[in-house]
Structure 1
C-alpha cells in the first residue's frame, strides 16, 4: 500500500466534507464557509505529539491573525499521528490547554474528528459514531464568533445532535459505505 500524498489526503477530506458534513447536513453551518473557500486544509506530518501541538499552536495563531473572510476555519489533518482513537481522545485535553495558554478561550475552539471516533456509552460500530468519523484524524479549529452567528441563523442548534443521529440511523452502515468516503467506510 502506498502512502497517500498531501493532495490525496486533502481530496479525501474534501470529499468527506462535501458528501457527509454538507450533503447529509451533519453541520448546517459548513456549506456557507466551504463554498466561499474559507476553509483551510492543512496536512501535518508531525512525527509525535509535541510536534503536532506546535503545529496546532501555529494554526491557531494564523487563524486568529487572519480575517474570517479569508480563513474562517481550519482542518488540521494529521494522518500519521494519533491514529489510535483513545490516544487521540486523550490528546484533546492537551489541545484545549493550548487554546487556553494562548489566550484564545472564548475566541477559538477545537472540535474533533477521527476514523475510529466513538462517543462515550456507544459500541464501536454504532452508526451514530459516524457523525464524527473522518478519513484521517483531524482537529477542526473554529472561531467562536462564527459559531455564534451560525446559531443565530439556525435557532434550533441544540437539535442538531439528535437530528444527526436520526440521519445516520436512516442511512445505516450500508448507506455510509455507499458514500465511498474512505477505506474504513466498508460495510460492517
Structure 2
C-alpha cells in the first residue's frame, strides 16, 4: 500500500466516522463500522475500464465473504471520475454490470462523490453533502443486509428527509468544521 493509498483510506474513514456516523446520516453504518465489516478498496484505476474491472473484482470478493466478516465494500476511485457528470455516467455502467453478473436484487450500489449534486439543486446546496465524500466512491451493499437493517429501523423512508434537515441546520460552516474532505496538499495520483 502506498502512502497515497493510506491517505485516501484515512480520509474516507474520517468522513465515515465524523459525517456519516457522527451526523447519523446512515443509521446502519455504525454497527458495521464497529464490527469491522466494512472493506475499503482503493482502486488504482486511471480510466473507466480499469475501474469497471476493479468493480467486478470487488463484487465477487464481497459475495465470496461471509457477511459477518465483510458486510459492505467502499470501492474508492481517487484517480478517475473526478468530474461528477463522468462519475454519474459510470453509474449506468455499474448498474449494467450488476445485471450482467445477475446481481440485481443481490447487491446495490450507492454513490458518493466530492461534487455530488442532486437533480434540481444548485451545486452549493448543502443538502448535496449527504452524498459527498472526499473521493469518488461506489458503496457496494448486500441487499439482504439492507433488508435486515430497514426491518430494524422504523420509518427508514424518513432518513433522506432527516438528513436534508440535519445538513440545513448544520450549514456550510458546520460541514467545513467537520474536516471531512481530502487531506490538504495530497495528490493521490502521485
Fold conserved between structures, TM > 0.5 = yes
Query: Are residue 44 (structure 1) and residue 43 (structure 2) matched?
Result: yes
Greater relative contact order structure (CA < 8 Å, 6+ sep): 2
Equivalent residue, structure 1, for 2:74: 75
| Pairing of 1:37-186 with structure 2 (within 5 A) | 37-183=36-182
- 5+ unaligned residues in a row in structure 2: which ranges? 185-190
Task: Supply the distance in 2 between the matched residues of 1:112 and 1:90 (Cα, whole angstroms).
Answer: 12
- 5+ unaligned residues in a row in structure 1: which ranges? none
Does the 8 A contact of 2:73 with 2:141 survive in 1? yes
Q: Secondary structure at the match of 1:42?
A: strand
Question: How many equivalent residue pairs?
Answer: 183
Q: Structure 2 length normalisation: TM-score?
A: 0.94
Task: Supply the distance in 1 between the matched residues of 2:156 and 2:3 (Cα, whole angstroms).
Answer: 36
Task: Supply the distance in 1 between the matched residues of 2:136 and 2:80 (Cα, whole angstroms).
Answer: 8
Task: Supply the distance in 1 between the matched residues of 2:64 and 2:26 (Cα, whole angstroms).
Answer: 25
Quote how far apart the aligned CAs of 1:4 are: 6.1
Quote how far apart the aligned CAs of 1:159 are: 0.2
Equivalent residue, structure 1, for 2:32: 33
Does the 8 A contact of 2:111 with 2:131 survive in 1? yes
CA 1:177/1:184 → structure 2, altered by over 3 Å: closer, same or farther? farther
Task: Supply the distance in 2 between the matched residues of 1:165 and 1:56 (Cα, whole angstroms).
Answer: 29
Cα deviation, 1:26-75, whole Å, max 9, x if unaligned, reads 00000000000000001001121011001000100111111001100000
Quote how far apart the aligned CAs of 1:184 are: 9.5
Task: Supply the distance in 2 between the matched residues of 1:79 and 1:47 (Cα, whole angstroms).
Answer: 9
Task: Supply the distance in 2 between the matched residues of 1:149 and 1:123 (Cα, whole angstroms).
Answer: 34
Q: Secondary structure at the match of 1:20?
A: helix
Does the 8 A contact of 2:11 with 2:183 survive in 1? no
Q: Structure 1 length normalisation: TM-score?
A: 0.95
